[in-house]
């Protein structure tokens, strides 16, 4: 090809070379530019995270909550000599029965936990946050709320700070402490999913739970539930597993955890410490499980609990409450279920006056009106919470008068004091007349200890309907001799 022809193509070749160079260099330049921009973004983000990091502030808050609460959390181990025996007659090597959590209530050495954590325990040991081990004794238990109080040697204890759980609201952030699956002194977090929950646990009579989504598993039972200030607002107790039996000794977490509110704990624990049993208030009404059709037809809308009947001469009758009234609030707290109302009233002491907002249909006005009624509570006797069939069974046996064993009552009867229930009176000619003397103290139902009369009734109910061969009790005679008998018709 002539030089003239090459010269003619020269500009075209130059353009092609230039285009090829751009095509080759362009992506590289773009990549370099993108890299530079990314690197600059990383540097800027790192600077911001180091200088003004909201997440670090949250992390520090979480660490502060752990530092404040953990010293008050304890790990509880329970032991017994023979894990197979149901009669406590044999002896054997000591084995660990179960474990759970608790928290320091005061500087006197009182530890709060769930009653089911120490179920059937013959020996209880508490581990403090620093690893120190101390033996514990039972001060009192309330099976109907699943609350128990232990006592350890005082000294070097860090009581938890407590808060008023009536201020808890749905959406509040919370923290659960305990030892799930034996991972000791653990912490989880979540929010309050709901309040005033009735989980329909067959073993608990009073249920007014705080529902949370923080992970709660076996071993968390008895541990504190705190707010963002590290104050205890409740106690981890149960998980929803779709079964009616779901305390945290059974099953595993499925997104719904339940805690006893501090209002109930503050009502029960001081009484267990001072006298070993719990006195509860009641208003003297029978309640509808749901709002009746006649009340709905008269225009009632919303949530509440309807009164079915009013006990003559009782607190409600004296306050002017009527059948058909719908209780809307107790001391300003909304009432949605029968179980919630029962728990709110029982958390108050006999003699207290509570304020009830009620909806009432006025015949003359032909409309419903809302009014506030003050009710002074009477004392709910233990036998009022017992199935009538069990009371008839005990009377048939001849056990007509029972009371909580106290040192004072034991001295009056001139019998050795033991924790349990004193047999005050026996009907002559009845089945137990020849085997039990007045002054005998019943200390166990099967191998489960009895600390007061209400606990005796609760344990008897547990086995009376499921043990066709009778209920085995352990007792101490007025002479101090221990014995075991089978209560059966």
- Report the catalytic residues: 116, 146, 221
Say if residues 235 and 260 touch (Cβ distance below 8 Å): yes
Q: Which long-range contacts (CB under 8 A, 24 or more apart) does 349-352 make?
A: 349/267, 349/279, 349/280, 349/281, 349/377, 350/279, 350/280, 350/281, 350/377, 350/378, 350/379, 350/380, 351/281, 351/376, 351/377, 352/281, 352/376, 352/377
Q: What is the C-alpha to C-alpha distance for residues 148 and 428, in angstroms, rounded to an integer?
A: 37
Q: Which tokens belong to 319? A: 């306050």
Q: What is the C-alpha to C-alpha distance for residues 371 and 409, in angstroms, rounded to an integer?
A: 45
Q: What is the C-alpha to C-alpha distance for residues 383 and 58, in angstroms, rounded to an integer?
A: 51
Please, which residues have CB within 8 angstroms of residue 113's CB and are 6 or more apart in sequence? 76, 100, 101, 102, 103, 148, 150, 221, 222, 235
Strand partners, 127: 75, 133
Q: What is the C-alpha to C-alpha distance for residues 308 and 34, in angstroms, rounded to an integer?
A: 75
Q: What is the C-alpha to C-alpha distance for residues 260 and 233, in angstroms, rounded to an integer?
A: 9
Q: What is the C-alpha to C-alpha distance for residues 47 and 45, in angstroms, rounded to an integer?
A: 5
183 C-beta neighbours (distance < 10 Å), count: 11
362 three-state secondary structure:
strand
Q: How far is CA 279 from CA 267, 333, 377, in A?
A: 9, 22, 11
Say if residues 327 and 360 touch (Cβ distance below 8 Å): no
Q: What is the C-alpha to C-alpha distance for residues 103 and 72, in angstroms, rounded to an integer?
A: 5
Q: What is the C-alpha to C-alpha distance for residues 85 and 91, in angstroms, rounded to an integer?
A: 9
Q: What is the separation of C-alpha 452 from the centre of its chain, rounded to a whole number of angstroms?
A: 21
Q: What is the C-alpha to C-alpha distance for residues 452 and 443, in angstroms, rounded to an integer?
A: 9
The length of the chain in residues reads 489
């Amino acid at each position: 090809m002539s030089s003239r022809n090459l010269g003619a193509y020269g500009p075209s070749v130059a353009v092609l070379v230039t285009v090829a160079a751009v095509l080759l260099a362009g992506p590289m330049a773009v990549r370099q530019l993108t890299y530079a921009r990314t690197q600059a973004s990383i540097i800027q983000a790192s600077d911001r995270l180091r200088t003004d990091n909201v997440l670090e502030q949250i992390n520090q808050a979480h660490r502060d909550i752990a530092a404040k609460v953990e010293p008050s959390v304890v790990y509880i181990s329970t032991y017994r000599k023979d894990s197979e025996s149901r009669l406590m007659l044999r002896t054997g090597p000591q084995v660990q029965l179960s474990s759970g959590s608790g928290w320091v209530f005061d500087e006197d050495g009182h530890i709060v936990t769930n009653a089911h954590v120490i179920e059937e325990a013959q020996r209880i040991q508490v581990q403090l946050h620093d690893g120190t081990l101390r033996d514990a004794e039972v001060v009192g238990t309330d099976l109907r709320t699943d609350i128990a109080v232990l006592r350890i040697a005082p000294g070097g204890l860090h009581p938890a700070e407590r808060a008023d759980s009536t201020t808890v609201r749905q959406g509040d952030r919370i923290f659960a402490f305990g030892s799930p699956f034996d991972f000791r002194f653990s912490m989880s977090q979540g929010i309050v999913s709901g309040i005033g929950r009735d989980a329909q646990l067959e073993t608990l009579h009073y249920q007014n739970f705080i529902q949370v989504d923080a992970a709660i598993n076996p071993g968390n039972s008895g541990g504190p539930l705190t707010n963002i200030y590290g104050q205890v607002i409740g106690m981890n107790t149960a998980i929803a597993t779709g079964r009616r039996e779901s305390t945290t000794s059974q099953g595993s977490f499925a997104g719904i955890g339940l805690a006893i509110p501090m209002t109930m704990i503050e009502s029960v624990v001081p009484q267990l410490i001072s006298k070993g049993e719990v006195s509860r208030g009641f208003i003297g009404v029978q309640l509808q499980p749901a709002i009746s059709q006649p009340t709905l037809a008269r225009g009632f809308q919303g949530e509440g609990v309807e009164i079915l009947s009013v006990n003559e001469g009782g607190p409600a009758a004296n306050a002017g409450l009527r059948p058909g009234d719908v209780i809307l609030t107790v001391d300003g707290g909304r009432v949605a279920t029968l179980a919630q109302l029962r728990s709110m009233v029982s958390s108050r002491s006999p003699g207290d006056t509570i304020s009830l907002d009620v909806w009432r249909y006025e015949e003359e006005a032909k409309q419903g009106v809302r009014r506030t009624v003050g009710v002074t509570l009477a004392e709910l006797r233990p036998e009022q919470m017992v199935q009538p069939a069990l009371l008839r069974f005990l009377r048939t046996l001849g056990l007509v008068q029972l009371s909580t064993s106290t040192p004072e009552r034991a001295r009056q009867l001139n019998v050795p004091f033991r924790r349990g229930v004193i047999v005050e009176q026996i009907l002559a000619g009845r089945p137990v007349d020849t085997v039990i003397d007045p002054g005998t103290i019943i200390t166990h139902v099967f191998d489960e200890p009895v600390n007061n009369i209400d606990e005796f009734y609760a344990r008897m109910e547990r086995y009376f309907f499921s043990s066709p061969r009778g209920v085995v009790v352990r007792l101490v005679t007025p002479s101090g001799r221990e014995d075991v008998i089978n209560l059966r018709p």
